[in-house]
């Protein structure tokens, strides 16, 4: 499964990195967050459990809060807001 990135609506983007292992989900998330404007949101979908810890910590460090998170089966879905 290839990485997919698209704009769902104004200020809301989706990044799907299911199938990817470390460090790809972290790196793709970081690159996308660098492009977003303050207040924009990213819906991130991934299924690599070890990336969950790293992405959470990365968001915290960079001041981009994870405003919502849940699991759908083995998929993690994080909504991250650009701080």
Partner 1 sequence: MYHNVAWALQMGQMGKLIYIKIRAYILFAQRAIETEREVSVESIVTHPIPALKPADCCSTSKASVQAVSRKHIMWVYIIVGFFGLVSVGTYAMHEYYLYLSAYLWFGFIYGMCLQYGRFCFASAFRDLFAVGVPRMVVGIMIATILFSITSSLVASTGWSTFHAAPWSMHAVIAGIIFGVGMVFAGGCASGSLYKAGEGNGVSMLVILSISVTQSAFVDMGGWINYLVPKSWAESALTKGLPSSINVSDGWVDQYLAGYVWDQPVITFARLLGLEDHSLVGALYGNTLVGVILPAILLLTVVYIFWSRKRYVMDLKANEGRSANLIDHVRGFWAMITSSKRTAIAGLFLGVACGLQMFVIEGLRMKFGVKNAGTILQRLGHDYGISAKGTVFDPGYWYVTTQEAQWVGWVMQKLGWNNMDNIYFGWVNGIPSPAINPADWMSVALIGGAAVMALLNNEFKWKMPTKELAIWALIGGALMGIGSRLALGCNIGAFFVRTANGDISGWSFGLGMIGGAYIGVKFFNWYTEKKMAREMANINFDL
Residues that bind partner 1 (CB under 8 A): 1-7, 10, 13, 19-24, 26-28, 30-32, 35-37, 40, 47-50, 52-63, 65-74, 76, 78
Q: If we measure between CA atoms, which residue out of 19, 34, 29, 6 comes closest to residue 79?
A: 29
Q: Is 22 a catalytic residue?
A: yes
Structure tokens at 61: 């460090």
For the CB of residue 45, give the shortest distance to partner 1 in the complex, in Å.
13
Distance CA 14, CA 50 (A): 20
Q: Which residues pair with 45 in a beta bridge?
A: 16, 77
Shortest Å, Cβ 39 to partner 1: 12
Residues belonging to the active site = 22
């Amino acid at each position: 499964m290839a990485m997919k990135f698209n704009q769902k609506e104004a200020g809301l983007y989706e990044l799907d990195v299911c199938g990817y292992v470390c460090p790809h989900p972290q790196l793709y998330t970081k690159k996308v967050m660098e492009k977003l404007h303050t207040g924009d949101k990213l819906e991130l979908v991934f299924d690599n459990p070890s990336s969950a810890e790293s992405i959470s910590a990365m968001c915290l460090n960079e001041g981009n809060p994870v405003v919502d998170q849940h699991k759908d089966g083995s998929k993690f879905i994080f909504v991250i807001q650009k701080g």
